[in-house]
Amino acid sequence: MPQETLFHEYLNDFTETKMTGFSAEWLALREPADHRARDQALQNNICEQLATVARTEERAVRLIDLGCGSGSNLRALATRLPAQQHWTLVDYDPLLLAAARAALVAWADQVLSNESTLTIRKSEKTIEIEFAQVDLSQDIERVLAWPADLITAAAFFDLVAEPWLIRFCQALRVTLYTVLTYDGNEQWLPAHIADTSILKAFHAHQKTDKGFGVAAGPDAALIMQRELTARGFQVALAPSPWKIDQTEAAFMRALATGSATAVRETGLLNTQEVEQWLTARVTAQHCTVGHWDILATVAK
């Protein structure tokens, strides 16, 4: 059986396991949409930058992935990067770090070592991977002091508070490439009378404490653009929306159900209104959810 088929079967099995914080099911369901949504121009730009580092310095490129989850960001990027890579995957949840290791072993063409540092081969790339359990709400400055050519993250910065974002931007010393920061825009088709009120309540839930203080939610990307530009970075933003239809019915159901659950927790809408919206949305024809990708390069 082809290796990619084995990996996708692994992800299907993976969806049966629940993790703390974000479920393995959710991370597996969203991965194809995440990878499709990335802005290709920004992705090509960072790949070219890292190729220049590898060529001029004749060494492995070093990447630190914040809030790595099950390792999806690495799977999206690694086959496009230079032949020798060193990744440090950082997460607070030890179960997700274990899941990331298992998922990357399943994804690899060859496992060269599965000790404390995992070393794999994929598409003729040699990828060394370290796993670090860190409370980023407390220790972001320590992590940003580790050797790296690139700090990266996916679907992370909208979960953190503005004061934390300012700390992060103050401590950042190398290029940042982050994808899929929620921008607050959603469009479901066909339209439903409760779409606007549901989205407003969902935004209220977004701006609750996710472990870093009151989350910046849809404001995160623009806060980062402001703070990094003020510190001399060259900052580029590009839209990276999810575009989902009934070919990904399970993901559509999970997205609608998660949104409805968040709205219920706010207590801002009556239960009947939320249930009617959810009933319509689990069979929606199409959904677009807006995000920003950000590339911030140290000005020379």
User: pLDDT tens digit string along 129-158?
Assistant: 999 999 999 999 999 999 999 999 999 999
**Residue 22 confidence (pLDDT):** 54
- Write down the domain spans for the chain: 3-185+213-242+289-298
Q: How far is CA 201 from CA 72, 153, 171, 262, in A?
A: 29, 26, 33, 8
Q: 3-185+213-242+289-298 architecture in CATH? A: 3-Layer(aba) Sandwich (3.40)
**Residue 261 confidence (pLDDT):** 95
- The dihedral formed by the CA atoms of 108, 112, 113 and 117, expressed in degrees to the nearest 10: -70
Q: Which residue ranges in the chain fall short of pLDDT 70?
A: 1-23, 300
Does the model's pTM come out above 0.75?
A: yes
**Residue 300 confidence (pLDDT):** 67
> Which 3 state secondary structure label does DSSP give 284?
coil
Token representation of residue 109: 């063409």
Q: Which of 91, 107, 284 is nearest to 198 (CA)?
A: 284
> Which 3 state secondary structure label does DSSP give 35?
helix
**For the purposes of burial, counting CB atoms within 10 Å of the CB of 2, is it exposed (0-12), middle (13-18) or buried (19 or more)?**
exposed
Residue type, position 234, single letter: Q
**Residue 74 confidence (pLDDT):** 98
**Residue 27 confidence (pLDDT):** 86
- Confirm if 51 and 82 have CB atoms less than 8 A apart: yes
Token representation of residue 145: 């002091």
